[in-house]
Amino acid sequence: MGMEAAAEQGERVEVDPWRPSVEEYVAPITIESIGVMELRSRCLTVRRCGHLRRKEIAICRMLKMRACSMPMRFPFKVSKAIAVIRFLAECEIPALTKGKINKLVFLADKLHLVRFGRPITGDWYAAMPHGPVPSRIDNLLDAFEDENGTGEAEPLRAQIGVNRVFRYPRYFAIGTSDLPNQQLSTSDFEALREVVTVYKYRTFDELRTLTHEMPAYEIAWAERSGQRGQMRFEDFFEDDENAIAGVFEEAVENSAIAARFPEPAWD
């Protein structure tokens, strides 16, 4: 087995003394001395050198990258979030609870970001004990499950019903609605349908285990304050086979444009 193959499988490999160590090759880098693309190239070389296990290299790379640019941010739209929830409820997903919705939304946002340069909902993610949680959507669903809740949850009540006989209430679609077609783009539907196809029959526990193993979650959880850590969109690209070359840079540009020209939460 070659050195690179062994490193990719997470095995310890013998270090070539003629190759630079992580400290020599990565640690001295400063924002002023190197750009994002060159930094990515150097960190990939560190991976090929086989100095660290796969996940350790991923975390090392992303921690260095984040020092080189402003954090990505994207606009959150309540109407679009409700459309995503409505779409999932129409897919006849078994045991569709709040927790399962949160995980499926995360997987869809992540897939769309690494493939098209923006997430679907724009929500920001918290690393919680049970995995990634879309903060605004989680609050929206909490208000929805509260029978006395009002505000942003009211439009959701016209779209979604809830079965409270279970320990964790289960969601279902009410009647017919054109909201997803009004709010979601072709690429939004593509990512959502792919996520539903792959993960529809996974249990919440299986989805929790899956998302716990993703570098974006591991990094945020390692840096958390208390029982909550903020996940970064930059980290969503790491160790993801769906990531397309050049989309990271496109996402950086899209984030900058969104910050310069903010859109309303409702449209």
pLDDT in tens, 38-91: 555 555 554 444 444 555 555 555 555 554 557 899 999 899 999 999 999 999
Give SS3 for 180. Answer: helix
Average pLDDT of the residues in 162-169: 95
Please report which confidence band the pLDDT of residue 252 belongs to, taking 50, 70 and 90 as the band edges. Answer: confident
Pair (42, 159) in one structural domain? no
Q: Do 38 and 149 belong together in one domain? A: no
Instruction: Output the furthest CA–CA distance in the chain (Å, rounded).
Output: 67
- Taking alpha carbons only, the member of 21, 3, 23 closest to residue 12 is 3
Do 101 and 194 reside in the same domain of the chain? Answer: yes
Share above pLDDT 70 across residues of the chain, in percent, rounded to a whole number: 72
The better pLDDT of the pair 35, 157 is held by 157
Single out the residue in 44, 68, 92 at which a domain terminates: 68
Residues 38 and 164 in one domain: no
80 burial type by CB count under 10 A (0-12 exposed, 13-18 middle, 19+ buried): buried
CA dist list (Å): 31 to 2, 17, 26, 65, 203: 33, 28, 12, 9, 43
Look at residues 122, 156, 157 and name the one whose alpha carbon lies nearest to residue 136: 122
Is 132 domain-assigned?
yes
Domain count, the chain: 2
Judgement on whether residues 63 and 182 belong to the same structural domain of the protein: no
Range of the domain at 120: 78-260
For residues 17 and 120, membership in a common domain is answered with no
> Of 68, 94, 121, which closes a domain?
68
Q: What b/e sequence results for 27-37 when a residue is b if at least 16 CB atoms lie within 10 Å of its CB, and e otherwise?
A: eebeeeeeebe
Task: Kindly state whether residues 56 and 93 are assigned to the same domain.
Answer: no
